Chain A
Amino acid sequence: MRRVATIAWHTFKESVRERVLYNLVVFALLLIGAAILFGSISVGIEHVIIINLGLSSISVFGLLMAIFIGIGLVWKEIDRRTIFSLLAKPVRRYELIIGKYLGLMLTLLINTSIMTAGFYAALAYEKRTLEVADLVALQAVYFILLQLGMVVALALLFSCVSTPILSAVFTFSLYIIGNLLSDIRWFGQETGSALVMNFTAVVYYLLPNFSNFNVISQIAHGQAVPSYLLVSNSLYALLYITILLAAAVLIFEEREFR
């Protein structure tokens, strides 16, 4: 456990050195601030636009950070050949994978917190006050973090088997597909073919269903996420992250480095 924590801490320190991270956070904060101006050229949606644009910025920029840092997590160690010195130490391979994952999640947690603080600052500026009801947006932030947890695990899995560019393409493609799974399943049902229907049903359950976590629009209208959905989605993310990390460990255990 201590070894996992050490790897996580070092991964965190390494990822906060990435300049792209700061650029993304600054850009996200600028966009959240721009929501105030955007609201002024519209009518009657001043709060709604800040919530929608703020939470969407947190989600999109978090996704970019998760993918661009996640794809290099293992690949960099292999590419720079530092993997040999790492594995020569009393560190098990699964500890390396889990430590890397937790390190990046810590980075994302801190960045998401900064962006969330920026979002609430913009909201407070627009509303001149903050109410307890505004805390409902934290549910959307929590779902964004769950989504990011799954994306990082995906990126890490691909990072164990492929180059960074291909890993980014695979992760991003799966993210998009994961948002359209309901449609894929429906297309299968529409064909009327049992084979296609079963295939799309398998795809539906096999691939990560990111649309489960899309609640920004609902939150923007002040509607809280029901507690059963909070629990179910947390469990879903936990299960899927377990699957992805287990797969990453299996691949990494088998991999030979020359």
Chain B
Amino acid sequence: MAETQKLWRASRTRLVCGVLLLAAFVALVPLQRGIDGMVSARMRVEELLYRPSGRYSHRLCLGHEGLIANIYWTRVVQYFGRKRLDQSARYDLLGPLLQITTELDPHLVIAYRFGAIFLAEKAPSGAGQPEEALQLLRRGIVANPDYWRLWQDLGFIYYWDLKDYPSAARVFQAGSKQPGAQIWMRVLAATVAAEGGAIASSRLLWSEIYRQAENEQIRKSAEDHLLALQVQEEFGQLNLVLKQFEQRAGRRAHSFRELVVAGVLVALPRDPTGVPYVVGSDGRAALGPGSRIDLRLLQ
């Protein structure tokens, strides 16, 4: 009797397990279909395969692609830093490394923003590849349509590195229409469209970058550019004064001290870092020795 009961109990367990197993498998198929339908928009497998670089490796990261992208981004930073220290003119791996990084994690916005700067800056400060920078930013905009600052960066590359002011104005205008875009983007678009590469538009652009900087390096770079722009503006005024002196005295001034003695200037003019300006061999205003202003930034 006990044996029969035991057997019956065992077969009942088997039956329950068998039914559970089958029922759960049957329920899995529609559920997986439902999940596929929900996530298909953000994971299009067919677009990821047979592609070299990050899109392919994405599948092999077993869900840790964000971490691998962070490691690649760190490699980008280290690679760029080392090349820059070496004053290298070749940054061959920069583009591919950035591509892998952003394909592994298309939402790593910092990689588009900084990557574009690294790519666009002229050698030896950067790779001198502004076209590559534009492509990187365009990919970033497609992957992050709600992030309006990528439009700002795109316009910046057109403005600063390619000196293509009509395109820059168009991009700033398009960016100003993105959700969350700040009002100054529209002002910038109008200023660039009207004045092109005038100092006023450059100052507006760099002032906004300085004001909005989320990172100390970007803030420092914007500050350096603003100081260089200020010096460029002051050069214009000082050269005018030097020209007037030359016309009046019939000779070129050799130093600004002469202008102070002649009463044309009330004091020796100094650059924003406090170093006195000098008169160059061409008779035009120049930076004094020891000045920390880098006018190459404006080239």
Contacts and interface: CB of A to CB of B under 8 A. Distances in A.
Interface of A: 38, 41-45, 48-49, 51-53, 56, 59-60, 92-94, 175-176, 179-180, 182-183, 185-186, 204-206, 209-214, 216-218, 220-221, 223, 226, 228-229, 232-233, 235-236, 239-240, 242-243, 246-247, 249-250, 253
B85 interface: no
A175 B46 CA distance: 22
Nearest to A181: B32
Nearest to A248: B17
A186 B31 contact: no
Contacts of A52: 64, 66-67, 69-70
Given A44-B110, A52-B66, A253 B14 contact: yes
B32 A210 contact: no
Interface in B4-53: 9-10, 13-14, 17-18, 20-21, 24-25, 27-29, 31-32, 34-35, 38-39, 43, 45-46, 49
B153 interface: no
Given A205-B28, A232-B35, A236-B28, A56 B67 contact: yes
B32 A209 contact: yes
Chain A interface, >50% SS class: helix
Given A41-B74, A94-B13, A213 B38 contact: no
A182 B48 CA distance: 11
B24 A182 contact: no
A44 B34 contact: no
Measured as residues with beta carbon below 8 angstroms from the partner, the interface class of chain B is 35 or more
Given A242-B24, A243-B24, A92 B13 contact: yes
B14 A250 contact: yes
Interface string B195-223: 00000000000000000001101000000
A239 B17 CA distance: 13
A217 B74 CA distance: 16
28 contacts: A41-B74, A41-B77, A45-B110, A48-B70, A53-B67, A56-B66, A59-B63, A92-B13, A93-B13, A183-B49, A186-B49, A205-B25, A205-B28, A205-B29, A205-B32, A206-B25, A213-B63, A214-B63, A218-B107, A228-B38, A229-B39, A235-B31, A240-B24, A242-B20, A242-B21, A246-B18, A247-B21, A250-B14
Chain B interface, >50% SS class: helix
Interface of B: 9-10, 13-14, 17-18, 20-21, 24-25, 27-29, 31-32, 34-35, 38-39, 43, 45-46, 49, 59-60, 62-67, 69-70, 73-74, 77-78, 105, 107-108, 110, 113-114, 214-215, 217
B219 to A, nearest CB: 13
A233 B31 CA distance: 9
A222 B228 CA distance: 38
B49 A240 contact: no
Contacts of A45: 70, 73-74, 108, 110
A233 B105 CA distance: 23
Contacts of B29: 205
Most buried by B among A45, A51, A60, A185: A45
